Every structure is written in C-alpha cells, then in structure tokens.
Structure 1
Amino acid sequence: MQARRKQLALALALALPGLAVAGPISDDVVKIGILTDMSGVYAGVGGKGSVIAAEMAIADFGGKVAGKPIQVVSADHQNKADIGAGKAREWFDTQGVDMINDLLNSGVGIAVQKLGAEKKRITINNGAGSTALTGKECSPYGIHYAYDTYALAKGTATALMKQGMDSWYFLQADYAFGQALQGDAAKIVQALGGKVAGTVKHPLSSTDFSSYLLQAQSSGAKVVGLANAGGDFVNAVKQAKEFGLKQTIVGLLVFDSDVKALGLNAAQGMKFTTAYSWELNPEMEAFGKKFFAKAGFMPTMDHAGVYSSTMHYLNAIKATGTDDADAVMKKMRETPVNDFFAKKGVIREDGRFVHDMYLVEVLKPSESKGQWDQLKLVATIPGEQAFKPLSASECALVKK
C-alpha cells in the first residue's frame, strides 16, 4: 500500500510539475524568472542587464540556498501585458518558478502581480513604476522595489518648482505607467501652487514626437515634463532639441542608459530623481564596476534593484529554510535591507520597499572624467519623504 501511494505521488508530480511539493524547498530547486523587455524601448533599462544582475546575485550568494541549486529563466514580454501574464502563468504552472523579478513595464507588472496573488507566488517589480502596484492593485505577495512614479515626481517636480518653474505641460506615455507618472507630477505641481497647462498622450514606442512638441510649445508652459521612459524619452528629447524647443525639458523617469544614449551635450544640466547611479557613493561604484565587468555597460537603477531584491529574497529563504511564499514574504518584511542599494530599507504592508532616493544633475561635458561619468548628486531624499505615506494608501492590506 505504501509503495502504491509513492507511485501515485510520483505520477501526480510528473503530471503537474508546477505544483508545489511539501517540503522545505519545492521541487528541490529555487527557480527565479526574469520577465523583462528584451527587444523594445526598455531593453536598455532592463533587458539582458536584468538577467546578468540576477545571475550575479546568485553567484555572489554561492549558487545554492538551503542546500538546493538556484536557477534563472528569462523571457521577453514584448511590452504586452497578455504575453507577460501568459509567460508568467506558464512558469508558475509548468516550470515551478518560485519568484518573478524585474517586470517592466507597469502594464505587465500589474498583470503578473495579480497572477502571483492568485498562485501565491512572489513577484518583485523593479522596472515598473505605477503606484497602483502598492495601491488598488496591491498584493500580499507583491513587492515594488526600486522606485515608483510618486517618488520620481515628488523629487523632481519639487526641485524644479523651487527654481520658479511653476507652469507645466506634459507628454505622457499612453498606458498605466505614463498615466500614474503624469498624475503624480501634476498633483505635486498643483499642491505647490503651480499650474498644469495641459497634457498630450502618445503611444508606447513612438518615433515621431513633432506634433506633441508643437502642442507643448504652444502651451507657453515653462516646463515640458516627459512622463515616459526609455526609448520614448530619448527620442522625445532628441526631437525637442532638433525642433528648437526653448522650454525646460524635464524627464520624470530617466535612467543612466538614457543619459548615455543622449550624450552629455544634449542632456547637460537636466535634473531628475533616481534610486541608484554608480557615481553616488563608493558602494554603488563598486557594484557598478563589477556589473560593468560582466555586462560591458554600467547598470541602471533597474539592474541594481534586481540584484538587491534577488539577494534579499535568497537571504529570506536561507533564514527560513523554505521557499514557501508566505514564510519568505514574512521574513523579507521583517528584515531591513542594508547593502549598496539601500540602508535600513524596509518593505511596508502595501508592498512598497522604502529607501532613500537621489536628486541628480547631468554633468557638463567639461565636468565628465570618463565615458560613464555622467551625474552628480544634488540632494538625498530620505525614504520616508520620498514615497507616498501609508496614510494616503489605497491598498486594502493597510490597516487604518
């Protein structure tokens, strides 16, 4: 009879390989999925760099946790929520993936976080920005790690308003991320006594911004705020320069890779908010150089967040001796993060990872000491000031 039960259990495990098997480590392996943009406008932000970051974290951890091997799988979601959710479902149901990381963009991030809640699997959003991830779409198994639209908008808009830049016109990417970023920035501008002259939406992966820039110019606003990212941001700035736009151009989400693509001549003097840049302190520099040796380019804050959050996840498994999602999430929430990316960083009940953010300025070409020397620190924004307070949260998990 006992042999028969073992045969039935084996048959069930073979038939349903995605089903978690009782025991400390399901399937005798910890499997991490990197779901990212490998071929589109955000490929330089995440892409292969996010896979490299996860692989570096695993190697630095020792390649095993709780005596079991750690594996990485990766896929290109093509910036389509249905493709991303489909791949995540396949990973959860048939490949035994325990955690999915990166998840730029916000449409993909929200869809996969919902699925993670359904499947009781951990999802860590590093590339996605929408505050909905820790608001109405929050999940007990979801973590929003590197940044969000509120922190970006608050840091940059507040700094510009202090300089008298009190009228804004927005170019907004027409999906969840752009809507959240524009909305957060507009609220902050208005709360500080500024004016929003208007907003125009553009499709993701736009190539021609001329009509949008013409509307921005006609608005008479002092600031043209770009509520987009990656290739869209780079193309919009380049075309604004070619168009001869006289207004101040502000990127509300800018990565090191974007500054590199633009060049210092085009980007000099631009201020923006970030969670990481290799120039900011010695620990960040050490990680940046180590990453560069593997990748051939400096990491973005997305890549840095993938590394840091993967290490935090693996340390939680080590501490608990299991990859059970509930046990691991509990330990991750209980344990502050102290590494190159964050000091005393904590995960709140809404899933928001709270850490310091940084207001930076792009160097003049004459100030740069090398091809990746692009930014200087203007101000450090404490985490409790950078991110939306829990008192304003729309997350159902937050007790008020």
Structure 2
Amino acid sequence: MWQIFKQFFALGWVSFGGPAAHLGYFQRHFVHKLGWLDQPRYAQLIALSQFLPGPGSSQVGFAIGYQRAGLLGGLAAFIGFTAPSFAIMAAIALLNTSLTDNSFYQGVIHSLKLFAVVIVADAVITMSKQFWSKQTSLLIGLVSTVVMLLQQGLWTQLLVLAGAAVIGASQPEMTAPTEKPCVDDKACSSPLWWALVLFGLLFFVLPLIAGQSSLVALFSEFFQAGSLVFGGGHVVLPLLQESLAGQISQDSFLLGYASAQAIPGPMFTLATFLGAELTPSSPLLGALVATVAIFAPGLLLMVGLLNSWQALVARPRLAGAISAVNAAVVGLLVSAWYAPVFTSSVFLKQDFAAVVVGFVLLRQLKVPVLYLVAGYVALGLLLAL
C-alpha cells in the first residue's frame, strides 16, 4: 500500500496538463518504468474509462492501484494522486487572493500548458506504435481522429468507440488470443454489484434528501456532476458553473478554474476550491465533502465494472473488438492533443519553439519530467518579467 501511495503521490505533484497528459505520465511511469502492467492492459483500462462518466485519468490511476492490491490499493492510488492538488486548491481557497490578475501566475499557467502539449504528443506517438500496427487498426485510428476533430462531443466519442468495436469484431485480422488478465475466474465473471447498487442509490436518493442539511446538498450537487460528465475535468467546468450560478461569484469561479488548470493532478479538484468557497464557516470540511462527492461516481463504476471488463477482454472472440477500441482511443488522444491541449496553448512561434525543444528533451534526450516541469515554470516566470 505504501509503495502504491508513494508512487502516485510523487506523480500527483508533477502531473500537469489535464486528463490526456496524465495518461501520458501513467504510461511512462507504470508501464515503461515500473512495469506494473503492460501496454495492452493499460489500453484496456483507458478504454473502460472512456465508456464511464467521471474523471478518466483518476479512474485509470485507481484501476492501476486496484489491480496491484485490490480495493485498498485503488484507494491508495487515488488518495496519493489527488492529495497534492487537493492541498493546493484548498490553500488557494483559504488565501482567497487575486491570483488571476498576477502576471507571474498567468505566465506559469501558459508555460505549463506548453509542457502538456509535449507530454500528450509523447503519449500519442508511443501508443500509436503499439495499436496502429495493422492496416485495419490504422484506418480505425485515422477515422476516429478525423471524426473527433470535426465533431467533438460526448455522443460522438461514444459512437466512435462503439463503431470501432463493431468493426473490430467483424475483422479476422484484428482478432488475436489475449492473456487472461486475472486468475480468479469467479471474481472476473460478473460485476461487483454492491458498487453499482451503491452508485444507483446515491444518484437517485441524494436529490430527495438534499434539503435535510447543507452538507448533504453540497454532496448531492457534486455527486450529480461527477455522474453526468464524460470526458474528464475540462468537461465538468461548464456544468459546475451553471449548477452553482448564484451560489458563488464569477470572480471566485474563474480563480478556481485558472488554478485547476495550472496545478498538477486531476482537474476535478476544482471541486475542492468550490466546496471551500461554498462553506465559509467550515471551508476544509466543505472542500473534502465536495471532492469526495465529485470523484465517487466514477470510482464506484470503475470498481463495479473493472473485473467483468477484464473477463470480457480475456475472451478471444472479443479480442478484435478490444483491439479496435484501443486503436480508436489513440485517435481520441490525437484529437485531445489538438483541441484543447494544443489550441489553448500554442499561439505564437515562440510557443511552438518551446514545445519542440521540450519534445526533443523528453523524447530523444530522456530528460526527467521533474526537470522539464521546473524548466517550463522558469520559462513562464521569465516571460512574465
């Protein structure tokens, strides 16, 4: 448990760039460096997270810990990865300073966005070599990339993945025997119904009892948001802004939004900031309640479906469908690399130069991620002078 927590806690301090970038960090650290799981298994976890609501990268991190040491291992991974950003966002809420008007703060935000472009590009190249090796998978990846670039959205994403699965299941060249991902046949044969039932109860019952106390209402609002949002942290922002209209000032919300983009770790910890702002009498308690509530739906669904998903991917007759979904997932990452990662970061030729230099340092010269983060922070401060 300590090893799992320690590894994710260390990543939680340096994982800048949002969900797509986090998947790149996880891939480099747990697949290539530590060897906790192989590339096909990692892609299976990403594919499952794409079908579920909630924070995709946090769900993948939780699943890595879960496969390593069961439910407690998953919780250790989640707490370790989330704790740094929770602490930072809670501190910002308590200080309540006008950081959005600070030129140095804005400079650091911009430089870290450029670093995210580098990280996602590295993940796309690595995964494309693995999952676009066949002609059919390459075509599926190409089509998924084009479709997502031209028509982004939740339903487009789900249709792309479903269409890829249908095509893959009908193509003999996509079908290959897969190693059984777990040894307990009984545990892998059906969902963990307690997690799915608990999710359903909370989703339907919480709104009915929200009026009983302010904390229950707070938990209910953020649980509903976490239950209905697909696609990660960026997607949840407009939903929260609309649902909390009138409860929090626009300036405070924008401060939380800017901070969530700038800090490492999951962007869902915007809930930490908002929970603290919504409960001024007990800000730390409010921050904790909101954070747990917004992450809970995605983690419960991951617990409920992870074992049965593994059983499905272990069946050779479904190997083609899973291979095709893996190819489509790479296409989704390519789309995410362009928008919002690239389009919201690279505006000038100097920005692109910083991306190229960072990519060469990471990909070719193997400079450690922590050093690159420090370099990009320094660049942001320098540009703000």
Q: Same fold (TM over 0.5)?
A: no
What TM-score does the superposition give when structure 1 sets the normalisation length? 0.25
Greater share of strand: 1
What TM-score does the superposition give when structure 2 sets the normalisation length? 0.26
